[in-house]
Amino acid sequence: MPDGVALSPERVSAIQHSFNEDWKRLCETAARGQLAPVTDRRFSSPAWRDSQPHLFMAHAYLNTANAMRQLADSVEATPHVQQCIRFAVDQWIDATAPSNFLAFNPDAQRTLIESKGASLQAGITNMLDDMRRGRISQTDESGFHVGENLATTPGSVIFENRLIQLIQYAPTTPNVYTRPLLVVPPCINKFYILDLQAGNSFVRHAVEAGFTVFIVSWRNPLPSDTDGILQATWDDYLSEGVLEAIRVAGEVSGQKQINALGFCVGGTLLASALAVARARGDDPVASLTLLTTLLDFSNTGVLDVFIDETHVRMREQQLGAGGLLTAGELASTFSFLRPNELVWNYVVGNYLKGEKPQAFDLLYWNADSTNLPGPLFTWYLRNTYLENKLRRPDCLVSCGQSIDLGRLDMPSYIYGSRDDHIVPWQAAYASTEIVGGDARFVLGASGHIAGVVNPPAKKKRSHWLLDTPDAALPESADDWLASATEYPGSWWDDWTTWLASHAGRKKKASATQGSTAYPVIEPAPGRYVQVRAI
């Protein structure tokens, strides 16, 4: 084994003995014809339950997978190396499941026979189509069109530069709060995750609650671009992106301060930009909302397996001076964080069974991903994920300013999702100790996206709150959860109530968007969001 990595012979022997005993019991049970169905959904269909040989195969696979995971967890190494080993073993285990192969999947075989071969023909067609796309289809994309049945909340683009378009949404209430809301979505995805369809649009919900909403639409850079965007840096995204959006939203609304919300990487960008503003003596934001955002990168979940000095240095050599981190690479990375749900599930359905995936707006958005400028990506990778400098006061210089997130003393609303595998909710909670103002923390059920996009009308999932919101937050995330109360449904209404307390009085809504200085350029959702990654 490599230096610093060891595996106890005694532990290996114990695992081997346990595996042999499990195998013996499995064979004895199979010989009696008494194999029980398995709960794993990959092997839970009637075709698996009705075939003892295939059911035996499923049990044998699961027993072997369990032993392999025990061996991976028994390796004595640094935590990072242990995590990498477990990730690699899990990838191999998931890829070799018998359900992934036509020769071993009775469900796919039954479909093949019942369809008289049509499923195989359709599966080959689906596979060839996906090979042309360069990705596995996760949804029927034919029924979705941005600007037609996605990103349909009425509004106008009122400002643009080489990095962003700024959209202002039209009011739907006679009166609106005087202080507007600026939304900064992640630059690694398109903004319309927050404006999918009318029934699940976070933007529409905020507009209907009486807020004047602005949102940043990040440009999707292409290899053919020649205006310098391929060399855009983290500082460029702060100055030309977030800070410009704040300035324009403030000028159009006539307010010295606005409210601001950042989602995922958008929250990291927003907090960094506000720290730059504070270092300059500016105070443009009255309240801050952070949704599934990392400010402290001590706990980055499974993504940590990709982060070490060697990998970061290689990326800097590849992309640090310019170029693109492609959307395809980003999408593949995130899909293989949950391969059974986002890869092999579709291999079985699309290719082995010849099915077309169901139309699902969230998965259409997931496939409509974006490229990133290399310098932006490599700066972010080193200074946050690898070296975790952002959380340390005056450790980073951005836009010529030494930044300290602790100087952000405005009230903050910080949200985490309990099953988030990208931003563990405990890491989101850590932001409450970094920003300097009064913080309200809310925990939602489900994952990174589904936990955020959870409209109240659906009456799905739940969220956790402290019943004494003015009390000091516990230092430990687990202590907070122990004291919190679970409430049914979405957290959105709690957020709009909180935001209203920081939004000022109400005034008559304007019939137009923009201003004399910032006239309407085009209707929302604008041109930038329509650009597809190549």
Give the pLDDT mean for 221-230: 95
Where a domain ends, among 36, 69, 102? 102
pTM here is 0.94
The answer, yes or no, to whether residue 1 has pLDDT greater than 60, is no
* Cα separation, 425 vs 477, whole angstroms: 8
Where a domain ends, among 102, 117, 135? 102
Q: Establish if 391 belongs to a structural domain.
A: yes
* Cα separation, 324 vs 373, whole angstroms: 5
Q: Establish if 505 belongs to a structural domain.
A: yes
Amino acid 9: pLDDT:
87
- Do 310 and 444 fall into the same domain? yes
- Structure-token pair, residue 417: 């999702």
- Do 68 and 196 fall into the same domain? no
Kindly give the pairing relationship between strand 372-373 and strand 213-218: unpaired
Q: Establish if 134 belongs to a structural domain.
A: no
Q: Establish if 148 belongs to a structural domain.
A: no
Contact 71, 15 (CB under 8 A): yes
Q: Establish if 131 belongs to a structural domain.
A: no
For 240-298, give the DSSP string: IIIIHHHHHHHHHHT-S-EEEEEETHHHHHHHHHHHHHHHTT---EEEEEEES--S--S
- Do 95 and 17 fall into the same domain? yes
Q: Establish if 359 belongs to a structural domain.
A: no
Number of domains in the chain: 2
- Do 268 and 403 fall into the same domain? yes
The answer, yes or no, to whether residue 301 has pLDDT greater than 90, is no
- Do 321 and 188 fall into the same domain? yes
- Do 166 and 311 fall into the same domain? yes
Amino acid 8: pLDDT:
83
Q: Establish if 381 belongs to a structural domain.
A: yes
- Do 201 and 91 fall into the same domain? no
Amino acid 4: pLDDT:
64
Contact 356, 126 (CB under 8 A): yes
Which one is catalytic: 84, 187, 264, 399? 264
Contact 414, 439 (CB under 8 A): yes
Where a domain ends, among 75, 102, 129? 102
The answer, yes or no, to whether residue 270 has pLDDT greater than 60, is yes
- Do 98 and 200 fall into the same domain? no
- Do 75 and 195 fall into the same domain? no
Backbone dihedral angles phi then psi of residue 260, each to the nearest 5 degrees: -135, 145
- Do 301 and 406 fall into the same domain? yes
Contacts of 86 (CB under 8 A, 6+ apart): 69, 72, 73
- Structure-token pair, residue 117: 């071969």
Domain that holds residue 21: 9-102
- Do 91 and 184 fall into the same domain? no
Q: Establish if 360 belongs to a structural domain.
A: no
Spell 137-167 as b/e; 16+ CB within 10 A means b.
Answer: bbbebeebebeeebbbbebbbbbbeebbbbb
Amino acid 471: pLDDT:
73
**CATH code at position 227:** 3.40.50.1820
Query: For this structure, is 264 an active site residue?
Result: yes
Model confidence pLDDT, tens digit, residues 435-445: 999 999 999 99
- Do 200 and 66 fall into the same domain? no
